[in-house]
Amino acid sequence: MNVQSNQTTIYIGLNDSETGVQKFDSGKYLSILKNACQNYNVAFSVQFINGGYFHEDGRYTDENTLMLRLIDVPDETVTELAKDFCAFFNQESVMVTKSPVSVTFIKEKI
């Protein structure tokens, strides 16, 4: 059975917005992310990725990033999570994308 759902992805850079470097081990950031999702009662998947971007002044930054995927989470909850991550990880901003997805649960009975 296919279900139409919405997938939201939150990209959270790990470089501190003031120092420009990652302050803590990636595992600490992952622990904070897991606790926040649990507190909001949100199921999630997360990946560590590496990315780069350009600042408004043209400087380039390369950083580790957490990519958090959520399925059918209300927009208000996504916004609150994103704001929390922005504060917890001392980020200037986090990026949120949203797209429709088809979800299928496959089960095998033995």
C-alpha R_g of the chain: 16
Q: Can you name the residues that pair with 102 across neighbouring β-strands?
A: 4
Taking domain 2-104, whether its CATH number is 3.30.70.120 is answered by yes
pLDDT value at 53 more than 90: no
Cβ(50)–Cβ(65) below 8 Å: yes
pLDDT > 90? residue 56: no
Domain residue ranges of the chain, discontinuous segments joined by +: 2-104
Q: What is the pTM of this model?
A: 0.91
With a cut of 90, say whether residue 50 has pLDDT above it: yes
| pLDDT higher than 80, residue 20 | yes
Dihedral angle computed from the Cα positions of residues 84, 16, 98 and 4, in that order, rounded to the nearest 10 degrees:
-70
The per-residue pLDDT for 102 is 94
- Checking if the pLDDT of 70 tops 90, the result is yes
pLDDT tops 80 at residue 1? no
68 bridge partner residues: 10, 46
Q: In what order do the strands lie in the sheet with 45-54?
A: 45-54, 60-71, 2-13, 95-104
Question: What are the structure tokens assigned to 96, written together?
Answer: 């949120």
